[in-house]
Amino acid sequence: MKRPVKNAFEGKRALVTGGLGFIGSNLAHRLAMMETEVTIIDNLDPGQGGNLFNIHGIQDRVRVVHGDVRDAKTMEGLLKEQDYLFHLAGEGSHVGSMQAPEADLEVNALATLRILELCRKVTPGIRVLYTSSRQVYGRPQYLPVDEKHPLAPVDYNGVSKLAAAMYCMVAWQVFELQTTVLNLTNVYGPRMRVKDGRLTFIGWWIRQILEGQPLEVYGEGRQLRELNYVEDVVQALLLVAAEPRTAGQVYNLGGEKSISVLELATMLVMINGKGTCKQVEYPSNRRRIEIGNYTCDISKINAHVGWSPSVNLQDGLQLTLEFYRKHWQEYW
Amino acid sequence: MKRPVKNAFEGKRALVTGGLGFIGSNLAHRLAMMETEVTIIDNLDPGQGGNLFNIHGIQDRVRVVHGDVRDAKTMEGLLKEQDYLFHLAGEGSHVGSMQAPEADLEVNALATLRILELCRKVTPGIRVLYTSSRQVYGRPQYLPVDEKHPLAPVDYNGVSKLAAAMYCMVAWQVFELQTTVLNLTNVYGPRMRVKDGRLTFIGWWIRQILEGQPLEVYGEGRQLRELNYVEDVVQALLLVAAEPRTAGQVYNLGGEKSISVLELATMLVMINGKGTCKQVEYPSNRRRIEIGNYTCDISKINAHVGWSPSVNLQDGLQLTLEFYRKHWQEYW
């Protein structure tokens, strides 16, 4: 990593929405280590990734508010005097968004809009980081996908995440609110939801393989993906937050290399030392919103803040399996 | 115009949301003439363009429901057995969206999403036309702007209209709902709101000039615009609705030529036979969301359904002034 970021966070205040969830809690651990005053807001929605165990080890060093980011009064109180807002709370389930589209819109676009307006009101100098999704681009028209790729979501979740990201950009252009958007790809690692495949197939596979179940691969599993180990994503959030010149920018994250879904399953089995893969028919509700191959152009974030993924896939999967072997009782 | 469209509408049922408004009422007149069974829903929101006088002459041939498109129960009842939905209701005020962003999101994106889901449920074969805005493209990166232009709204209204349009596209791709989106540019003509400049400066100028007031031009007035006479927009809606192969497509509309804002003011004075223009400082809340020059590439809709604007600007302005000279009492 090119820059030390500790100075930017030591003694500062940061609010992490969705901070009991996967990425939020990993970020909270890093912030706590840097002696940032961390406040977490999380509603522990059973459909999301929030888990109190995720802050095990830092529970005495962070303030946790059990609340909802849609609640303006709560958010207004929490935002006051914050230096950073890491807005990670939201609906990330593609299939879920097709089943409950209004809730998806509300928690992603409406809540984000409300929060941006509150920032303008109570803490206009705050640094805002929003995590959107590669899903805003839809089916790639070319690879790797850079930030200029046409925006054409293929599911409702992609629309609501995109609207939220665009609200961030408008708030920057019109009101000079210091917002930056990161488009995440498949993120994996310790503290992810592994209860089911609602948010990501990788979490589900982690659980399946540790339970001795075959890994289900939809169809031929040939579609390419890029995976980011969660610590690399946290590092991207910190590097970008610490660099004021990234305000008003959108950045794509991506992995060190692309891998097909089937190869990934095979790699997991290999790293685990045992297990099997099973190819099953593509469920129709997933096939309709499947985006095909996806690879990421990360040259923009690399040029602006020197970020690139540092954990290779094999090591990342190894670390993830170890974490869940040890702590599975907290996540099953 | 290339194709007769009457066959597609005679004896059919059409629901027009915002049908007491500017474009909706002009559409309702055309549909009523073609013996379509027209139902209008409009909430007569004082900030919008709804006006009962707009259906003067067809009031016995259309059914008018005073209601809100956000109301799922009302919409479900109205959508049943419709052949066409012209979804024109929504917030179109750029400045208004910056003052009341949540209402803007709700009436544009949320209501549209809800309506699409209701269509799937009660009338999945319906033909859906949604009118979005050139505002989804933001400040042009090249001219004329075609449908491949990057999407980068510069105000909240552009975000909510874009989200609504994208919901239409997802509903087509995933659920085969027959949706088409038209991106409108500056539309003018009889039955437009002229009470103030909330929705469009052109309406306000119409009133100003007829009241003998100087036309206020912000700044130098050099930015280019394209204007569409409302009957041309109605024709586009009908041509596209009648052509099933336009489902899943987005089309930009545009005028026969571009004109600067200052030239437009001068032309209005000339057509009116008297009046003056006055250059005033750009209000800061408008400057921040100003998009610069805008010209439209209409070759896609022209190629697909043969549409092009048929009313030239001079004639259109003449007809508009005549309408308001006669009916000003209904609109001031």
Residue B101 structure tokens: 């962003």
- 3-state SS, chain A, equals CCCCCHHHHCCCEEEEECCCCHHHHHHHHHHHHCCCEEEEEECCCCCCCCCHHHHCCCCCCEEEEECCCCCHHHHHHHHCCCCEEEECCCCCCHHHHHHCHHHHHHHHHHHHHHHHHHHHHHCCCCEEEEEEEHHHHCCCCCCCECCCCCCCCCCHHHHHHHHHHHHHHHHHHHHCCEEEEEEECEEECCCCCCCCCCCCHHHHHHHHHHCCCCEEEECCCCCEEEEEEHHHHHHHHHHHHCCHHHCCCEEECCCCCEEEHHHHHHHHHHHHCCCCEEEECCCHHHHCCCCCCCCECCHHHHHHHCCCCCCCHHHHHHHHHHHHHHHHHHCC
User: Cα–Cα distances in Å, from A284 out to A95, A218, B174?
Assistant: 11, 10, 10
Contact B141, B125 (CB under 8 A): no
Residues 6+ apart with CB under 8 A from A122: A76, A79, A80
**How much is the pLDDT for B2?**
54
Asked if B173 lies within 8 A of A113 by C-beta distance, the reply is no
Instruction: Return per-residue pLDDT of chain B as tens, 332 residues.
Output: 455 688 999 999 999 999 999 999 999 999 999 999 999 999 999 999 999 999 999 999 999 999 999 999 999 999 999 999 999 999 999 999 999 999 999 999 999 999 999 999 999 999 999 999 999 999 999 999 999 999 999 999 999 999 999 999 999 999 999 999 999 999 999 999 999 988 999 999 999 999 999 999 999 999 999 999 999 999 999 999 999 999 999 999 999 899 999 999 999 999 999 999 999 998 888 888 888 999 999 999 999 999 999 999 999 999 999 999 999 999 99
Residue B131 structure tokens: 């009118």
Q: Is the pTM of this model over 0.90?
A: yes
Most A CBs within 10 A among B156, B157, B291, hence the mutation to make, goes to B156
- What are the tens digits of pLDDT across the range B142-195? 999 999 999 999 999 999 999 999 999 999 999 999 999 999 999 999 999 999
**How much is the pLDDT for B3?**
59
**Residues in chain B whose beta carbon is closer than 8 A to a beta carbon of chain A?**
98, 101-102, 105-106, 109-110, 113-114, 117, 148, 150-156, 158-160, 162-163, 166-167, 169-170, 173-174, 288-289
Contact B39, B65 (CB under 8 A): yes
**How much is the pLDDT for A5?**
82
Q: Report d(CA A85, CA A31) in Å as an integer.
A: 12
- What are the tens digits of pLDDT across the range A242-289? 999 999 999 999 998 999 999 999 999 999 999 999 999 988 888 888
Asked if A109 lies within 8 A of B113 by C-beta distance, the reply is no
- What are the tens digits of pLDDT across the range A127-172? 999 999 999 999 999 999 999 999 999 999 999 999 999 999 999 9
B18 dihedral zone (left: phi>0; alpha: psi -120 to 50; beta): left
Other Cβ atoms closer than 10 A to B5: 20
Q: Is the peptide bond before A144 cis (omega within 30 degrees of 0)?
A: yes
Asked if B148 lies within 8 A of A148 by C-beta distance, the reply is no
Asked if A173 lies within 8 A of B154 by C-beta distance, the reply is yes
Q: Report d(CA A259, CA A38) in Å as an integer.
A: 36
- A2, pLDDT greater than 80: no
Lowest-pLDDT choice from A1-10, A56-65, A266-275: A1-10
- 3-state SS, chain B, equals CCCCCHHHHCCCEEEEECCCCHHHHHHHHHHHHCCCEEEEEECCCCCCCCCHHHHCCCCCCEEEEECCCCCHHHHHHHHCCCCEEEECCCCCCHHHHHHCHHHHHHHHHHHHHHHHHHHHHHCCCCEEEEEEEHHHHCCCCCCCECCCCCCCCCCHHHHHHHHHHHHHHHHHHHHCCEEEEEEECEEECCCCCCCCCCCCHHHHHHHHHHCCCCEEEECCCCCEEEEEEHHHHHHHHHHHHCCHHHCCCEEECCCCCEEEHHHHHHHHHHHHCCCCEEEECCCHHHHCCCCCCCCECCHHHHHHHCCCCCCCHHHHHHHHHHHHHHHHHHCC
Residues in chain B closer than 8 A to A156 (CB atoms): 113, 167, 170
Interface A-B, measured as beta-carbon pairs within 8 A, has a size of 85
Measured in degrees and rounded to the nearest 5, phi and psi for residue A155 equal: -145, 165
- By Cβ distance, the residue of A105, A151, A155 closest to B109 is A105
Closest among A113, A114, A115, A92 to A103, alpha carbons compared: A92
Residues in chain B closer than 8 A to A151 (CB atoms): 150-151
User: Cα–Cα distances in Å, from B155 out to A3, B108, B125?
Assistant: 35, 14, 34
- By Cβ distance, the residue of B102, B166, B289 closest to A159 is B166
Asked if B150 lies within 8 A of A155 by C-beta distance, the reply is no
Chain A residue nearest residue B136, CA to CA: A166
Chain B residue nearest residue A70, CA to CA: B102
Sign of the CA dihedral running A64, A65, A68, A74: negative
Asked if B105 lies within 8 A of A110 by C-beta distance, the reply is yes
Asked if A102 lies within 8 A of B113 by C-beta distance, the reply is yes
ipTM for the whole complex: 0.96
CA distance A325 to chain B (A): 39
**How much is the pLDDT for B204?**
96
- By Cβ distance, the residue of A109, A160, A288 closest to B174 is A288
Q: Report d(CA A184, CA B185) in Å as an integer.
A: 34
Asked if A113 lies within 8 A of B167 by C-beta distance, the reply is no
Asked if A174 lies within 8 A of B289 by C-beta distance, the reply is yes
